[in-house]
Amino acid sequence: MKQADWGTKLLFVNACISQRGAASRTYGVALAFLDAWQEAHPDDAHTMVRVDKMGLQPFTEAALEKRDALAASGDFSDPLFRPARIFREAETIVVAAPFWDLTFPAALRIYIEHISACGLCYHYEADGCHGDCKASRLLYITTGGDFEKPESLGVLYWKQLSEMFGIPRFDYVFAGGLDVDPSKVPEILTEAKEKARQFGREF
């Protein structure tokens, strides 16, 4: 896979944290998407951020004061805003994370705190919040031991974040029920990977 450092057609937010390592089931579905996307865009590169390797920390009171002071002055050049700047500039975005504890790993939640920079990725007007991200669409990929439910919070969370960031189209792939019947895991993953490939071809 070609990988860019900045100004990317596709941003891959990799939160595929797993004791399986490279054999992560979530990453396997994400890789099906990425391979299909690269085949459809042979001359383009993607940017990957691995959320658990970025060294991001939850915001403390002091960090919030620094962030708010910089944002108030319109200065978003500080490294504090680098995740948000990358997210804002991406043309399309895919986020992949396992379905943990009804949402996703904590490292992804901390990443969300860092990209949710008011004045950069969104702003407020008299009628409410308006997104400022350039992406035309976002795909969320997740896998879980239990079956998908209408109120699956990881999916709903990213759907609402996409709206907040001004990303007009949201899609997702949920490979659920992986710990219910081990004999059906290959079938479930095969179906999820094909859905991911379809999105990769059309992104």
| Domain assignment of residue 38, yes or no | yes
Domain of 175: which CATH number?
3.40.50.360
Q: For the chain, what is the domain count?
A: 1
Nearest to 148 by CA among 168, 169, 172: 172
Q: State pTM to two decimals.
A: 0.93
| Domain assignment of residue 1, yes or no | no
| Domain assignment of residue 72, yes or no | yes
* Choice between 7 and 25, residue whose per-residue pLDDT is larger: 25
What pLDDT digit, counting tens, does each position of 52-74 carry? 999 999 999 999 999 999 999 99
Nearest to 114 by CA among 90, 78, 142, 143: 78
Nearest to 100 by CA among 192, 7, 18, 203: 18
Nearest to 185 by CA among 141, 143, 139: 143
92-96 and 46-50 beta bridge pairing:
unpaired
> For residues 17, 173, 39 and 162, what is the CA-based torsion angle, rounded to 10 degrees?
-90
Nearest to 193 by CA among 28, 20, 22, 6: 28
Domain containing 55 equals 10-202
What pLDDT digit, counting tens, does each position of 173-192 carry? 999 999 999 999 999 999 99
